[in-house]
Each structure stands twice: as structure tokens, then as C-alpha cells.
């Protein structure tokens, strides 16, 4: 059958409803729009083009769009150079540079700090091809670099001789190549990749990732398989060469659990197990012939052990840094010290320890925000990058003796954030759990229930939502709006237990936390329903898709980007079956029950007053196929009774989060945020 939907002054495209009926574990499932999964078919492409025409006919008329294009252009186009990457074996330095007129960052090097810059790779000359990976050899003589087409993540690695800029003939096995780890003598490197079609059963080319060794100058047929698994296709395999160049660390895992092996490079036939229990996460480094072991096993907020490298057995481990109240994200060995990076109430704290585990001091960060730290154990440079909601991303060099951060680089962003502030509040979720939330707004905000508010979150995969600077949020604030970001269960702000409280059969907790945040904002007169926009991408797209079908009356507009929405079939596309560790799979009868209960696509109800919605997918997204956005848009256009627009855009030649030029990114961001601003009554500032 066909249906034509007409609301307000626009018509949705005529669409066929071709029912496919599945019976899963005794439950009958109807899917009228499964044919949209075949996105390359001409009829689907025709329907998509009509959807895009409708969307642009609405968005292109909005006055906010023109202002946003101008503001993004002024904020994103500038001459700049990123923090240099120094190599261990020479004075050669590598770095990224952009120019105001360029669409992409280019890659340069210098022979030493005062030498002239030399251009190595310029993606501005490559059309749709992007530069996705760069890994110099230890002395900087060679550069392994990976390119992909239009954000599709199908990276192919090549090797360049830096001084001559000659691209060598070396090619590697498989596709989706990554993880280059050079040997110190430049004889070759390790890498990981997925198999080509025909090497595994059809449809499994995105799995079976293996580690290989490539000898420089040899054909790919001679690449040696180093690390793999025979029966679990979802396992990732990765390898690292330690800073001292003496050992390999080999990881096998899937998201929250892994095992680690150790191998002496001079004895490459003996793989020594460090941990093989698959009972949690482990991250290991070797410093001065000591194994430094971070883990969350029997320590939900993380702790660190130490042992001699020749005594890797579990019974030999000794506690180096015990579990604390704060969540220990990782440990880094830099400049002869151990730096422990924590989240404290969802912001970064960095503590310094000796190799013996003695606490020394805490790095004085500028304010509450997010920071990362990097450097080498054997050199004195300590790099810290910091940002917060009202503090643009800045790179510092840290002087450990003076205990001072010295600004190395600040981006030339012309935006005044002095009138805005961040507060952190606590609210109760449905089951009484206390959840923290950041509110970013003008210092003189009036709590009269009329503030246009953008509420966003993630709540999954142990990812912490810490303070960070966003020009998009800054423009929302500049227009008079407020931003709210709750630290939902499922995230990584408060340790392993916080994450596990929002995954698998507990995923509904994440949605309850988000709904409670919206209710709290309204009850406390920060905003009201007609001023409340919500948005999220990827797992955050699933989040907003789920809450809008559960509580449609609570929101004015929803932005749902690169989402998963059909939770009964998500695992059948790309390499999304690895997400089953987080969500579960409809193949399992018990997991099917809760997936079916919250799957957004299967819980749309005909005749409901849904808010305005904008679904955005990406043509080259291998993580969250655009079929989710497409099927959900069709289903909601059919069901919606409110007359509010349900719009769809599928970005061409874009990936899950990349592949676009600056011009395209400006246009895309302006489209989305103009629509959001218009629906909640935000206008460009005078």
C-alpha cells in the first residue's frame, strides 16, 4: 500500500509500506520500511532526494542559518599550527598546519625546531580522499600514513621516505588498516587489518581483525600474521612497541574486557601471557623493566599494580596506586614520573607519582575542565591539553620542578566567553539515583522558565561527558540560550559500576536519567517544554530516539544524528555486532525482551503528538548505518499527529564523524542549529 502524509504547508514524499513479518522468540514483528535498508536502490535514492528537498525548503529559509554560516566561517577559518610531535631517535618534528583558505589540515615536518617547515601531505589536493593516520618511524626517517575516501574508515596505509617524499611501493594486507607500531631499527612495523572479501564468509569482512608484521620493502604476501583468534570474529587485536624498543604488548579484547600478552622483540616466537582471564580491562606499559598495570578488576574505579617484567604472573603483582574515590582513567609514564589521570565529579584531575608509587603533587589545571597529558618517559617534555565549556582548547608545557603550566598554543578563536559560567547540579533519577549535570549559561540568567535550552547526553560505552569547549555551544549561548549536559549512567564519569548501571538490561536507566534531567530543568524554572531542544549522536542518537517515543510531550524539538534506532536489527550491518557487548542482541531471547521494549523504531505509536524532529545519517557510516535514520523518519512521518515537521537528511560522502571539508561542515552545522534555534525561539544576537 502507499500513503501520502500532509501536515501544515508541506507534503511528505509518497512512500510504499511493504510489510515484512518476523517472528522472534515467539513475538511477531512487523516492519513496513525494511526496503529502505537497500539504500543504493534507485527508488530509495529517489525517496531520499525528495526528503532532502523538503528539509532544505524549510531550513534554507531560516534567518538563523545565514548568521550561523557567517559566525562558523569567522571561527573556523584561520591560519594555525598544532602541537608538534617529536620522535625519540632524532631532532625531527612532525606537525599539522592549516590555512584560512584550506578545507583540511595538512601534515608537515621540520628537521629541528629552528628549521623551515616542509609540506609532506596535503589532503586539500586530494578531492574526497582524507588523511586519517600518520605514524612516523622512531627516527623520523619514514612515515606510515593512512587515507580513506569521504569518511568511510576504509583506511589504506602507505609508507613515505620523509627526506625525499618518495612514496615507497610497500602495501599491506586486508583493509581498514590501523595501529602502526614501528621497530626501532626501521626494519618494519606491526599493523592490524580486517580481511578482504572472499577471505572470510560473506558479510564478515568488518570483523576478524588480525595483527601482522610488515618488513619494509617486502611484498604484502610476505607479511607475517602475528596475533589473531580462530573463533570469535568480534575480537580486536592490537600491538604496541614499548618506548625502550625491547618489548611488544599484544592486546585482544572487546570493549570492556581484554587480555594482554608480552613478547621480547629479540625472541619473537615466545608470547608470554600477562592476563588471560577476560575479567575486565587492563592497560599495561613497561618502564625501566617494570610492568605498570592499570585495571578495573576488583577495582571499579581503577587501580595500578607493578611487577618486574620477568615476573608477569598475577601472584607477583604489587599494588602501586590503590583504588580511590575518583575514577582513574589511565596512567602515563612521562619525564621519569607517573601521571594518573582521574575524573573527579566528571572533570579531570591529574596526580603525579614516583615510579615507587609515592604521591608527589597534583597538576594545577586552569579551572574545572577536561585535560589529557602526553610525552615520553625518557625525555623532559610534558604536554597538557586543557579545555572547558568556557575555556577554548589550549596546549601547555608543564614544568614539573616549578609546578607551572606555560601556554604553548591557543587557537585564534575570536569569541568572548567572559559573560558565561558553568554550574554543576545534582538531581534525582526515577529510581532515586543522584545524577550530576553541567549547566552552561549567562552569568545573569533569570530562572523564569523561559530560557531556550539544549539538553544533550551520551550515556554509554564508558565514555565520560566532561567539560569541553564547543564553538557550537558558544554560538547557542551567544544567542541567549543555555546548554545542559547530564552525566548519565552508562558513561565513564564515575567508574565501572556507573557504566554497567546503564548497559544491557539496565539501558532504560540511561533514558530515565535523561528524562529526569529534562523534568528537573522545567521544575526548577530554567526552561519550559516549548523552549527545550534535545540532541545526541551515535549512542546519543539512540538516547534521544528512545526518550522521544517514551515522553514525546516533554520536548519541543529533537536532533537525532547518526543513530542506532532499530535495535532488533542493528547488529546485522557493518561491524555493529561488536556493540552487542554494550546493548545485547536480539538473537538472544532474554536480551531480545528488553531491546524490543525500548527499541525506538518499534515503539512509535500512530496518532501521537510528536515534537519536531531532524534525523541525520551519513552515507559512508559503517558504525551506524543511515538506514536507522531513514526508517525512523518514515515511521514517524506516518505516525505523527502534531503537524510538527519530521525531517531527514542523509549526508553524502560523509562518515560517522568525518570526511567533510570545512565548507561542508559549516553548512551542515548551520542547517542543524538554525532549525533548533528557530523551534525554541532563538534569534541571532544584534
Q: Does the pLDDT at position 487 exceed 80? A: yes
State the Cα angle at 173 between 170 and 174, rounded to 5°: 135
Query: What pLDDT does residue 149 have?
Result: 87
Q: What's the Cα-to-Cα distance from 447 to each of 420, 518, 652, rounded to whole Å?
A: 15, 15, 42
Q: Which residues pair with 30 in a beta bridge?
A: 21
> CB atoms < 10 A from the CB of 587, how many?
14
319: β partners: 305
Confirm if 153 and 655 have CB atoms less than 8 A apart. yes
Rg (CA), the chain: 26
User: Band of the pLDDT at 658, cuts 50, 70, 90?
Assistant: low
Residue (of 280, 328, 333, 276) closest to 303 by Cα position: 328
Cell output for 535: 540532541
515 contact partners, CB below 8 Å, separation of at least 6:
430, 547, 550, 551, 554
> Which residues pair with residue 167 across a beta bridge?
160
For residue 1, what pLDDT is reported?
44
pLDDT at 9 over 60: no
Sign of CA dihedral 501, 503, 504, 509: positive
Q: Burial level of 40, CB count in 10 A (0-12/13-18/19+)?
A: exposed
Burial class from Cβ neighbours inside 10 Å (0-12, 13-18, 19+) for residue 139 reads: middle
Query: Which distant-in-sequence residues (6+ apart) come within 8 Å of 279 by Cβ?
Result: 257, 297
Q: What is the pLDDT of residues 334-353, one digit of tens each?
A: 999 999 999 999 999 999 99
Residues 6 or more apart whose CB falls under 8 angstroms from that of 605 comprise 549, 639
In the CATH scheme, what architecture does the domain 65-74+422-680 have?
Answer: 3-Layer(aba) Sandwich (3.40)
* Better pLDDT: 652 or 168: 168
CATH number of 79-321: 2.130.10.120
Q: Report the candidate in 190, 187, 180, 186 with the shortest Cα–Cα distance to residue 88.
A: 186
- Give the H/E segment covering residue 668: helix 662-680
Cα–Cα distance for residue pair 102/109, rounded to 1 Å: 18
589-645 residue pLDDT tens: 999 999 999 999 999 999 999 999 999 998 877 777 899 999 999 999 999 999 999
Q: Place 4 in a pLDDT band, splitting at 50, 70 and 90.
A: very low
Three-class SS state of 499: helix
Please name which of 67, 56, 63, 64 lies closest in space to residue 645, comparing C-alpha atoms.
56
Tell me, what's the pLDDT at 660? 82
Task: Quote the CA–CA distance of 185 and 165 in Å, as a whole number.
Answer: 20
Q: How far apart are CA 485 and CA 439, in angstroms?
A: 7
Largest CA distance in the chain: 75
Q: Judge whether 65-74+422-680 and 79-321 match in fold.
A: no
Q: With 70 as the cut, is the pLDDT of residue 5 above it?
A: no
Helices 662-680 + 471-478 axis angle, to 10 = 40
Segment holding 627, helix H or strand E: helix 627-639
Report yes or no: 569 and 627 within 8 Å, Cβ to Cβ: no
- 671 confidence band (pLDDT: 50, 70, 90): very high
Q: Phi then psi for 389, rounded to 5 degrees?
A: -60, -30
**Contact criterion met (CB below 8 Å) for 402 and 380:** no
Task: Report the distance separating Cα 290 and Cα 300, nearest Å.
Answer: 24
Tell how many helices (H) and how many strands (E) occur in the chain: 10, 43
| CA-to-CA separations, 196 to 155, 204, 467, 486, 597, in angstroms, rounded | 13, 9, 40, 42, 37
The arithmetic mean of pLDDT across residues 258-281, rounded, is 91
Q: Per residue in 347-389, pLDDT tens?
A: 999 999 999 999 999 999 999 999 999 999 999 999 999 999 9
Chain centroid, CA 317 distance in Å: 33
- Domain ranges for the chain: 65-74+422-680, 79-321, 324-411
Residues with active-site annotation: 538, 656
Three-state secondary structure readout of 505-567: HHCHHHHHHHHHHHHHHHHCCCCCHHHEEEEEECHHHHHHHHHHHHCHHHCCEEEEECCCCCC
CA distance 27 to 663: 48
Neighbours of 630 (CB within 10 A): 23
Residue 10 is predicted with a pLDDT of: 61
* 3-class DSSP assignment, residue 593: helix
Residues facing 238 on adjacent strands:
251
Number of Cβ within a 10 Å radius of residue 447:
12
Residues 71-106: tens digit of each pLDDT: 999 999 999 999 899 999 899 999 999 999 999 999
Answer yes or no: pTM beyond 0.85.
Answer: yes
User: To 10 degrees, the CA torsion angle through 621, 71, 544, 645?
Assistant: -100
Distance from C-alpha of 683 to C-alpha of 686, rounded to nearest angstrom:
9
How far is the C-alpha of 493 from the C-alpha of 490, rounded, in Å? 9
Residue 653: pLDDT band with limits 50, 70, 90: confident
Determine the straight-line distance between the first and last CA of the chain, rounded to whole angstroms.
51
Amino acid at each position: 500500500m502507499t500513503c501520502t502524509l500532509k501536515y501544515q504547508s508541506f507534503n511528505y514524499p509518497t512512500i510504499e509500506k511493504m510489510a515484512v513479518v518476523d517472528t522472534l522468540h515467539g513475538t511477531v514483528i512487523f516492519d513496513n520500511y525494511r526496503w529502505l535498508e537497500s539504500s543504493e536502490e534507485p527508488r530509495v535514492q529517489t525517496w531520499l532526494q525528495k526528503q532532502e528537498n523538503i528539509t532544505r525548503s524549510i531550513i534554507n529559509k531560516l534567518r538563523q542559518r545565514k548568521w550561523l554560516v557567517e559566525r562558523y566561517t569567522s571561527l573556523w577559518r584561520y591560519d594555525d599550527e598544532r602541537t608538534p610531535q617529536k620522535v625519540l631517535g632524532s631532532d625531527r618534528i612532525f606537525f599539522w598546519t592549516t590555512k584560512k583558505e584550506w578545507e583540511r589540515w595538512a601534515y608537515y615536518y621540520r628537521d629541528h625546531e629552528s628549521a623551515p617547515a616542509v609540506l609532506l601531505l596535503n589532503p586539500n589536493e586530494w578531492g574526497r580522499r582524507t588523511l586519517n593516520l600518520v605514524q612516523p618511524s622512531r627516527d623520523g626517517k619514514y612515515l606510515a600514513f593512512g587515507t580513506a575516501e569521504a569518511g568511510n574508515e576504509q583506511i589504506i596505509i602507505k609508507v613515505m621516505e620523509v627526506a625525499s617524499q618518495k612514496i615507497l611501493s610497500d602495501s599491506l594486507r586486508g583493509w581498514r588498516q590501523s595501529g602502526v607500531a614501528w621497530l626501532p631499527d626501521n626494519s618494519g612495523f606491526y599493523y592490524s587489518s580486517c580481511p578482504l572479501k572472499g577471505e572470510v564468509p560473506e558479510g564478515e569482512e568488518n570483523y576478524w581483525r588480525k595483527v601482522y608484521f610488515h618488513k619494509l620493502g617486502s611484498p604484502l604476501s610476505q607479511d607475517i600474521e602475528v596475533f589473531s583468534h580462530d573463533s570469535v570474529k568480534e575480537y580486536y587485536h592490537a600491538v604496541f612497541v614499548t618506548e625502550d624498543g625491547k618489548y611488544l604488548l599484544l592486546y585482544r579484547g572487546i570493549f570492556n574486557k581484554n587480555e594482554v600478552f608480552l613478547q621480547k622483540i629479540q625472541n619473537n616466537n615466545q608470547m608470554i601471557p600477562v592476563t588471560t582471564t577476560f575479567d575486565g580491562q587492563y592497560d599495561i606499559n613497561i618502564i625501566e623493566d617494570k610492568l605498570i598495570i592499570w585495571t578495573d578488576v576488583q577495582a571499579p574505579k581503577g587501580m595500578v599494580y607493578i611487577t618486574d617484567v620477568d615476573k608477569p604472573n598475577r601472584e607477583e603483582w604489587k599494588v602501586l596506586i590503590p583504588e580511590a574515590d575518583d575514577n582513574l582513567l589511565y596512567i602515563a609514564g612521562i619525564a621519569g614520573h607517573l601521571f594518573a589521570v582521574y575524573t573527579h565529579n566528571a572533570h579531570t584531575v591529574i596526580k603525579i607519582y614516583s615510579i615507587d608509587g609515592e604521591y608527589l603533587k597534583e597538576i594545577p589545571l586552569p579551572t574545572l575542565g577536561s585535560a589529557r597529558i602526553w610525552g615520553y618517559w625518557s625525555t623532559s617534555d610534558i604536554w597538557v591539553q586543557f579545555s572547558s565549556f568556557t575555556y577554548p582548547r589550549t596546549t601547555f608545557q608543564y614544568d614539573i620542578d616549578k609546578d607551572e603550566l606555560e601556554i604553548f598554543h591557543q587557537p585564534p578563536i575570536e569569541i568572548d566567553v567572559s559573560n558565561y559560567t558553568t554550574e554543576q547540579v545534582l538531581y534525582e533519577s526515577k529510581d532515586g539515583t543522584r545524577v550530576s549535570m553541567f549547566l552552561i549559561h549567562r552569568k545573569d540568567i533569570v530562572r523564569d522558565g523561559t530560557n531556550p535550552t539544549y539538553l544533550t547526553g551520551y550515556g554509554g560505552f564508558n565514555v565520560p561527558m566532561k567539560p569541553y569547549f564547543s564553538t557550537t555551544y558558544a554560538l547557542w549561548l551567544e544567542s541567549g540560550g543555555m546548554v545542559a549536559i547530564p552525566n548519565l549512567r552508562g558513561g565513564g564519569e564515575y567508574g565501572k559500576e556507573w557504566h554497567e548501571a546503564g548497559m544491557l538490561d539496565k539501558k532504560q536507566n540511561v533514558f530515565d536519567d535523561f528524562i529526569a534531567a529534562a523534568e528537573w530543568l522545567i521544575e526548577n524554572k530554567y526552561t519550559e517544554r516549548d523552549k527545550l531542544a534535545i540532541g545526541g549522536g551515535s549512542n546519543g542518537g539512540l538516547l534521544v530516539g528512545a526518550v522521544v517515543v517514551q515522553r514525546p510531550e516533554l520536548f519541543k524539538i529533537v536532533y537525532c544524528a547518526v543513530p542506532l534506532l532499530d535495535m532488533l536489527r542493528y547488529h546485522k550491518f557493518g561491524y555493529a555486532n561488536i556493540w552487542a557487548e554494550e546493548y545485547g542482541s536480539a538473537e538472544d531471547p532474554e536480551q531480545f525482551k528488553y531491546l524490543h521494549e525500548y527499541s525506538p523504531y518499534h515503539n512509535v505509536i500512530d496518532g501521537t503528538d510528536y515534537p519536531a524532529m531532524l534525523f541525520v545519517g551519513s552515507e559512508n557510516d559503517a558504525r551506524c548505518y543511515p538506514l536507522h535514520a531513514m526508517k525512523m523518519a518514515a515511521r514517524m512521518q506516518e505516525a505523527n499527529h502534531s503537524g510538527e515537521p519530521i525531517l531527514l537528511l542523509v549526508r553524502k560522502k560523509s562518515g560517522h564523524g568525518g570526511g567533510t571539508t570545512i565548507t561542508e561542515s559549516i553548512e551542515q552545522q548551520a542547517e542543524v542549529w538554525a532549525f533548533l534555534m528557530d523551534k525554541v525561539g532563538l534569534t541571532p544576537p544584534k
